[in-house]
Chains A and B, each alone.
Chain A
Amino acid sequence: MTDKQIDFTQSVSADGAVKLNSFTAEKSYDILVLGGGPAGLAAAVSAHESGAAVLLIERERKLGGILKQCVHDGFGLLRFKERLTGPEYAQREIERFIATEIPYVLESFVVDISHNADGNYTVCTQSAAGMKSYSCKAIILACGCRERTSRQVFIHGQRPAGIFSAGTAQYFVNIQGTMPTKRCVILGSGDIGLIMARRLTLEGASVAGVYEIKDMPAGLSRNISQCLNDFGVPLHLSTTVTEVFGTERVEAVAVEKVDERMNPIPGTREVIECDALILSVGLLPEIELANVLKIPIDPATKGPLVDQSLMTQAAGVFACGNVLHVNDLADWVSVSGETAGHGAAAYCRTPRAFSQSAVRLEYSKGDFLYALPQYLDPAASEPLTLFFRSRADVKGKTITLSLGGEKAAFSKKYRRLIPSEMEAVPVKALSFGDRAQYSIEMR
């Protein structure tokens, strides 16, 4: 990797005090991209190609984001028409990014963002070299998502060592090369948990089983097949872990079947000996920085509310990738990065506020888990790509998108829609017609 990294200069004053206003004046940029994973890399390249002066900020030592540890394949079928592993997908995006010579900083953590009176933003970072601040017209949030932790799952018993999120276990195995378990139980059937069931089995551990509280798996069906069935790892639906045993280290867990209200069914309790409990219980958009700016969040996606250019309700702050909603494919993360990159560059040329006349997307919460972008703004620059997830496992349903008077801006009959598989609907022409209407229906 050719390093176009910016050198830090000490920015702590002589008496050792850290003063935000005493920093060496940094070059100001049109756009700061926060995050160097697939969303941020694509956003930075697109914004740069649209003529904006971009700086990318990454907190880790290397670019690529979580793809670095996703050594399994299945990435890139849409974007590259090839089956790539996570690191290969990342490498392609990194090489495209490096070729543009966009400046970037590594091992720098954004600690604060403020909105100035002149409409610009000041982004404050912390690194080994000290604190630094940058001024910019627009910000692209590309900080990905994080895993739900054991604190967000209700389990009785002790809290010994040996309870890991699936991503942490993946980091231990794939990045550090250490084994976090000899025999484990996996709680939750999210894709990372399924991938880790296979990964740990290949590395010689025994996976006693994957336990899912719901009556259907959370992960992709191909992962149930190739990660569990291929290796004889059992999947137990409507079953959950209700207690953890062990003082220093996990010694066993209790599992129980649950009824349709997810309450444990008496008499179904079983104790399984293991040295680790691995949690794959879902991902949440990383919205800490959005919260700093008090950006309104959609309770359905758990990410910011955005228009079709992926601008949040804070003028000039865009969101893409897993900050926006948890995607099932990296390919869509890159696509949303491009949308945000183009959108932010257009904003820098013609600043705009989130328009009062933006039309809110309407959909039935009974039919859809979520859909986005949540707003259609006539002032936004980018063509609409609508993403949605079905609430239930349904067959033969027709999805119709209505824009203004036009009934069928998009209409398609789907053979099957399931909550774990996201659908994307690209809409070329965009006209509101006479009525301001933006809705999707499932029939």
Chain B
Amino acid sequence: MEIICIVCPNGCRLEVSGEGENLQITGNLCPKGVDFAKAELTAPMRSLTTTVATVFPAFPRLPVKTRGEIPKGKMLELMTKIRTIVVDNPKKVGDIILPDVFGTEIVATAELAI
């Protein structure tokens, strides 16, 4: 089975064979590829990047991301939560926008200066 590693732009084509103890992963340029393939086979995780609404007409959307990763299958569910947020005060990069979501938090990725 081939899995494309998405950790970095190298996009290594990982060849996965065997199961459990005999799991073999080749084609990775770095050790992160092995971890990625293992996670992909058991509990795939993704970081989510999107934007949230603001009350400021000159800056209607604030870019945000999950600080860590969330389960791949939870992205759309998290989007419905994020869609309810409206930011009404200035933010710096890294400020928490939504705490405690699937073991991580949503943080600002741009400065919102008024």
On chain A, the residues within 8 Å of B8 by CB distance are 74, 77, 83, 222
Provide the B56-80 mask, 1 if CB < 8 A to any CB of A, else 0.
0000110111000000100110010
Contact (Cβ within 8 A) B11 A222: yes
Q: How far apart are A230's CB and chain B's nearest CB, in angstroms?
A: 6
Tell me the complex Cα distance, A224–B4, Å: 9
Contact (Cβ within 8 A) B6 A226: yes
Q: Does B113 contact A (CB under 8 A)?
A: yes
Q: Does B47 contact A (CB under 8 A)?
A: yes
Within 8 A of A (CB), among B77-109: 79, 93, 109
Provide the A306-338 mask, 1 if CB < 8 A to any CB of B, else 0.
000000000000000000000011000000000
On chain A, the residues within 8 Å of B75 by CB distance are 202, 230
Q: How far apart are A96's CB and chain B's nearest CB, in angstroms?
A: 14
Q: Does B43 contact A (CB under 8 A)?
A: no
Contact (Cβ within 8 A) A175 B110: no
Q: Does A225 contact B (CB under 8 A)?
A: yes
Q: Does A174 contact B (CB under 8 A)?
A: yes
Contact (Cβ within 8 A) A177 B109: no
Closest A residue to B113 by beta carbon equals: A1
Q: How far apart are B17's CB and chain A's nearest CB, in angstroms?
A: 18
Provide the A82-120 mask, 1 if CB < 8 A to any CB of B, else 0.
011111101100000000000000000000000000000
Kindly identify which residue among B11, B49, B110, B113 contacts A68, using a CB–CB cutoff of 8 Å.
B110
Tell me the complex Cα distance, A332–B57, Å: 34
Tell me the complex Cα distance, A230–B73, Å: 9
Q: How far apart are A29's CB and chain B's nearest CB, in angstroms?
A: 27
On chain B, the residues within 8 Å of A77 by CB distance are 8-9
Contact (Cβ within 8 A) A177 B51: yes
Among A88, A175, A421, the one with the most B-chain Cβ atoms within 10 Å of its Cβ is: A88
Kindly identify which residue among A88, A199, A328 contacts B93, using a CB–CB cutoff of 8 Å.
A88
Q: Does A221 contact B (CB under 8 A)?
A: yes
Given A73-B49, A230-B46, A230-B72: A221 touches B13 (CB 8 Å cut-off):
yes
Tell me the complex Cα distance, A317–B113, Å: 35
Chain A residues with a Cβ closer than 8 Å to the other chain, count: 35
Provide the A401-441 mask, 1 if CB < 8 A to any CB of B, else 0.
00000000000000010000100000000000000000000
On chain A, the residues within 8 Å of B63 by CB distance are 71, 85-87, 174
Contact (Cβ within 8 A) A73 B4: no
Contact (Cβ within 8 A) A71 B49: yes
Contact (Cβ within 8 A) B79 A88: no
On chain B, the residues within 8 Å of A328 by CB distance are 9
Q: Does B111 contact A (CB under 8 A)?
A: yes
Q: Categorize the interface residue count of chain B.
A: 20 to 34
Tell me the complex Cα distance, A84–B63, Å: 12
Contact (Cβ within 8 A) A220 B9: yes
Contact (Cβ within 8 A) B79 A203: yes
Contact (Cβ within 8 A) B53 A88: no
Tell me the complex Cα distance, A74–B5, Å: 12
Q: Does A397 contact B (CB under 8 A)?
A: no
On chain A, the residues within 8 Å of B48 by CB distance are 202
Q: Does A356 contact B (CB under 8 A)?
A: no
Contact (Cβ within 8 A) B61 A174: yes
Q: Does A72 contact B (CB under 8 A)?
A: yes
Tell me the complex Cα distance, A230–B71, Å: 12
Q: Does A176 contact B (CB under 8 A)?
A: yes
Contact (Cβ within 8 A) A177 B61: yes
Contact (Cβ within 8 A) B5 A222: yes
On chain A, the residues within 8 Å of B110 by CB distance are 68, 87-88, 90-91
On chain A, the residues within 8 Å of B49 by CB distance are 71-73, 85
Q: How far apart are B42's CB and chain A's nearest CB, in angstroms?
A: 16
Provide the B1-35 mask, 1 if CB < 8 A to any CB of A, else 0.
00111111101010000000000000000000000
Tell me the complex Cα distance, A77–B8, Å: 7
Closest B residue to A73 by beta carbon equals: B49
On chain B, the residues within 8 Å of A87 by CB distance are 63, 93, 109-110
Closest A residue to B29 by beta carbon equals: A415
Q: How far apart are A80's CB and chain B's nearest CB, in angstroms?
A: 12
Closest B residue to A174 by beta carbon equals: B51
Tell me the complex Cα distance, A202–B72, Å: 12
Across the A-B interface, the 9 shortest Cβ-Cβ residue pairs: A87-B110, A222-B11, A71-B63, A225-B4, A221-B11, A177-B61, A222-B6, A85-B109, A177-B60
What is A's interface to B at a CB cutoff of 8 Å?
A: 1, 68, 71-74, 77, 83-88, 90-91, 173-177, 199, 202-204, 220-222, 224-226, 230, 328-329, 416, 421
25 pairs of residues in contact across A and B, judged by CB atoms under 8 Å:
A1-B113, A71-B49, A71-B50, A71-B63, A71-B109, A77-B9, A83-B47, A85-B49, A87-B63, A87-B110, A88-B109, A88-B110, A175-B60, A175-B61, A176-B60, A176-B61, A202-B48, A202-B50, A202-B76, A221-B11, A222-B5, A222-B8, A230-B46, A230-B75, A328-B9
Please name 6 further chain A to chain B contacts, defined as beta carbons within 8 Å, in addition to the given A71-B64, A83-B47, A222-B8, sorted by A numbering.
A68-B110, A85-B109, A88-B109, A199-B50, A226-B6, A230-B75
What is B's interface to A at a CB cutoff of 8 Å?
A: 3-9, 11, 13, 46-51, 53, 60-61, 63-65, 72, 75-76, 79, 93, 109-111, 113
